[in-house]
Amino acid sequence: MEAKHNANQYNYSKGNKIVIQNSNVLPAYRIPMVTLSVNDLMVQYQNQEKKIHAVDHVSFSCKENESIGIVGESGCGKSTLGLAIMKILQENASVSGEILLDGKSILSMPDAEFTKNIRWKYVSMVFQGAMNSLDPVFTIRKQFEEILKKHNFEGNYKQIIESGISSVGLTHSVLDKYPHEISGGMKQRVIIAMALVLKPKMVIADEPTTALDVLVQAQIMILLKKLKKEGLSVMLISHDLGIISEIAEKVGIMYAGQIVEFGNMQDIYRNPKHPYTIALLESIPKLDKTEKIIPLRGNPPSLVNPPEGCRFYDRCSQAMEKCKKDPPKIKTVSGFVMCWLHE
């Protein structure tokens, strides 16, 4: 399987170049980038009497100069993982385990310290669907100002806002428009600029291209790649492995609350090991091949009472008797796979 396929799939830049203006006024990102280490992270939501195991014993790490992609089906826990890193989960969530950002343990850090020094200033997030939640009654400039006020920013508002909007390839005139006056692609770039306005070192982008047409998707990916080149660490969350392969050196394949395979993007793309990863790759349309797309049938198990053993059991064509027991975590060249086939 060739990574080339997906690189081509989104390579629409030629006739539809986005103009990146004033790149010399971009946030001063510095190399080295952020290291992220997640150890045995668990997030459970309490919903009336039900406990939802949204993130279950998740561990992975990525070094400086590596961006990470998290991919998986709807409801597998991707956003919950991102929100846990931002310490911004809803009140019905309980969290355990460890998250280290550049070696700092953030779960044990007091909330006041995290809010003052880390959230938005060190790591920020482009929330899933955020472009639809821009306030319709305020101009874009006003909404930037509100963010800065909320974070007690004391510098020059006009300068930082204009530099932020330029950094995502938009003109300053956008700032005086209302959300309904700009396109979906522009809104998404505004949201990215808002996430970056306090110059974080890392951004978690949760489905930043969903609901955008393919040309605009390509523009957003070009923008994220540009920001990454300038030293911003990116954690990209998507249900689309093709999009992830555009940007991430490391990828975590998430299934029913667990990361079932993790490693270098190239290794996983060329030599996927977990049957779910293989199924994900087989379900990507290939423009240059005549082979049929093989859709994955069935649904993931409920996260309320996840079954014992391998969670992919009911959908796996290679399931064996022993798969009814929890699969071991097997080391691979650049990460791990959780599957009895590879013990």
Ligand X SMILES: Nc1ncnc2c1ncn2[C@@H]1O[C@H](COP(=O)(O)OP(=O)(O)OP(=O)(O)O)[C@@H](O)[C@H]1O
Q: Does 79 bind ligand X (CB under 6 A)?
A: yes
Q: Does 140 bind ligand SF4 (CB under 6 A)?
A: no
Taking CB under 6 A as the criterion, the residue among 120, 122, 336, 340 binding ligand SF4 is 340
Cβ closest to ligand X, residue 57 vs residue 226:
57
Cβ closest to ligand X, residue 81 vs residue 323:
81
Question: How far apart, in whole angstroms, are the C-alpha atoms of residue 203 and residue 205?
Answer: 6
Q: Does 330 bind ligand SF4 (CB under 6 A)?
A: no
Question: How far apart, in whole angstroms, are the C-alpha atoms of residue 277 and residue 255?
Answer: 9
Cβ closest to Mg ion, residue 80 vs residue 166:
80
Q: Does 85 bind ligand X (CB under 6 A)?
A: no
Question: How far apart, in whole angstroms, are the C-alpha atoms of residue 340 and residue 325?
Answer: 9
C-beta neighbour count of 328 within 10 angstroms: 12
Q: Does 80 bind Mg ion (CB under 5 A)?
A: no
Query: Residue 92's binding partner, choosing from Mg ion, ligand X, ligand SF4, none, with beta-carbon cut-off 5 to 8 A by kind?
Result: ligand X
Handedness of CA 156, 157, 162, 163 (dihedral sign): positive
Instruction: Give, as ranges, the residues between 255 and 284 that touch ligand SF4 (CB under 6 A).
Output: 274-275
Size, binding site for ligand SF4 by CB under 6 A: 14
Half-sphere exposure of 211 (CA within 13 A, CB side): 13
CB of 89 to ligand X, least distance (A): 7
Size, binding site for Mg ion by CB under 5 A: 2
Report whether 258 contacts 335 (CB < 8 A). Answer: no
Q: Does 254 bind ligand SF4 (CB under 6 A)?
A: no
Q: Does 341 bind ligand SF4 (CB under 6 A)?
A: yes
Report whether 270 contacts 3 (CB < 8 A). Answer: yes
Cβ closest to ligand SF4, residue 259 vs residue 339:
339
C-beta neighbour count of 191 within 10 angstroms: 22
Q: Choose one: 20-28, 77-85, 143-151, 274-282; the region binding Mg ion (CB under 5 A).
A: 77-85
Q: Does 52 bind ligand X (CB under 6 A)?
A: yes
Element (H, E) at 104: strand 104-105
Question: How far apart, in whole angstroms, are the C-alpha atoms of residue 77 and residue 285?
Answer: 25
User: Cα torsion for 35, 126, 237, 284, to the nearest 10°?
Assistant: -140
User: Cα torsion for 119, 130, 223, 115, to the nearest 10°?
Assistant: 0
Report whether 124 contacts 193 (CB < 8 A). Answer: no
Question: How far apart, in whole angstroms, are the C-alpha atoms of residue 335 and residue 329?
Answer: 10
CB of 106 to ligand SF4, least distance (A): 32
Taking CB under 6 A as the criterion, the residue among 45, 60, 127, 336 binding ligand X is 45
Question: How far apart, in whole angstroms, are the C-alpha atoms of residue 70 and residue 162?
Answer: 31
CB of 154 to ligand X, least distance (A): 34
Size, binding site for ligand X by CB under 6 A: 17
Contacts with ligand X by CB under 6 A lie at: 45, 47, 52, 54, 72, 74-80, 90, 92, 128, 239, 303
Contacts with ligand SF4 by CB under 6 A lie at: 274-275, 310, 312-313, 316, 318-320, 323, 327, 339-341
